[in-house]
């Protein structure tokens, strides 16, 4: 009896997530609470936040304990973490820890090669052809374009459609989602570039700037770890939509466990309308 009870508890245990914020050219104070709400509303996670200290001495001594968490979610775009934290983070993901990269977190750390491998694609921070190819869809096929040039751009914020790629129709994170849905007003990142190794593009969105589908949802294997990366999520208003909530919940669960049990809600958006989170 006791074993059964313990077994049930183990199976139902919530997955601990650590959100990192504290520096970002975006309103992280406004978006971290939304990300926390998205994860907690699923009932699948417990969420803690580690905010990098503003004081330089305290920042130098900031030591998050990644090993306590099944997944680390970055809402951080700022100065390099202390070297021991970078090494600990590489080790954490390499040995099976989950990582979730949200929007401008893919702007961070342009000169940290292992980070660029984890996120697959990034932008800004003087990213160029030295960081890897542009990756986008041409004639229905994912291409790696080695053309020299800067990485990272976007047009004005708009509502836009997210379209599943063939890999997205099979992947645990996005399987069962509609082929296309409308996403809340957001920046549509384009011209991202990076090593793009061991990366599946699960969904794209058509950019009016580049006139081509650009990667929007990615799944990357890094060592034994799994990385879920979405280029969406510029602001709180971009996040407070059922599509974004669902994708972040399922992406985080997959990064933590390799599987997804969180269902696709009945109210998941269609191509016709954004569905705000209540």
Q: Where does this chain bind Zn ion (CB under 5 A)?
A: 187, 234
Tokens of 187: 């920046």
Q: How far is the CB of 107 from Zn ion (least distance, A)?
A: 8
| Residue whose C-beta lies closest to Zn ion | 234
By CB neighbour count within 10 A (0-12 exposed, 13-18 middle, 19+ buried), where does 243 fall?
buried
CB closer to Zn ion, 127 vs 234? 234
Task: Pick between residue 239 and residue 256 the one whose CB is nearest to Zn ion.
Answer: 239
Smallest distance from Zn ion to CB 71, Å: 22
CB environment 24-51: b (16+ within 10 A), e (fewer): bebebeebbebbbebbeebebbebebbb
Looking at the Cβ atoms of 189 and 245, the one nearer to Zn ion is 189
Beta carbon of residue 158, minimum distance to Zn ion (angstroms, whole number)? 13
Task: Tell me whether strands 45-51 and 180-186 are parallel, antiparallel or unpaired.
Answer: unpaired
Q: Which residue has the tokens 């990667």?
A: 215
- Rounded to the nearest whole angstrom, what is the least distance from the CB of residue 275 to Zn ion in the complex? 22
User: How far apart are the C-alpha atoms of 51 and 222, rounded to whole Å?
Assistant: 25
């Amino acid at each position: 009896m006791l074993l059964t009870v313990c077994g049930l508890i183990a199976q139902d245990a919530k997955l601990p997530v650590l959100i990192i914020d504290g520096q970002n050219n975006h309103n992280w104070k406004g978006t971290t609470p939304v990300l926390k709400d998205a994860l907690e509303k699923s009932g699948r996670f417990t969420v803690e936040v580690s905010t990098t200290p503003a004081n330089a001495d305290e920042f130098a001594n900031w030591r998050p304990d990644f090993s306590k968490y099944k997944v680390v979610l970055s809402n951080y775009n700022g100065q390099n973490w202390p070297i021991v934290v970078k090494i600990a983070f590489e080790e954490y993901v390499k040995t099976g820890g989950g990582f979730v990269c949200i929007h401008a977190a893919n702007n961070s750390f342009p000169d940290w090669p292992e980070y660029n491998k984890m996120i697959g694609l990034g932008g800004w921070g003087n990213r160029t052809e030295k960081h890897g190819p542009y990756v986008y869809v041409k004639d229905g096929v994912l291409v790696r374009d080695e053309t020299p040039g800067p990485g990272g751009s976007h047009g004005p914020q708009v509502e836009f459609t997210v379209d599943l790629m063939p890999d997205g129709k099979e992947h645990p994170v996005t399987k069962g989602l509609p082929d296309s849905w409308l996403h809340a007003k957001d920046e549509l990142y384009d011209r991202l570039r990076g090593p793009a190794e061991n990366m599946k593009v699960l969904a794209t969105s058509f950019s009016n700037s580049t006139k081509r589908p650009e990667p929007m949802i990615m799944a990357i294997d890094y060592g034994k770890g799994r990385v879920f990366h979405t280029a969406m999520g510029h602001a709180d208003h971009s996040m407070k939509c059922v599509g974004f909530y669902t994708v972040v919940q399922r992406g985080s669960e997959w990064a933590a466990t390799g599987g997804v049990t969180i269902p696709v809600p009945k109210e998941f958006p269609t191509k016709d309308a954004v569905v705000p989170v209540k």
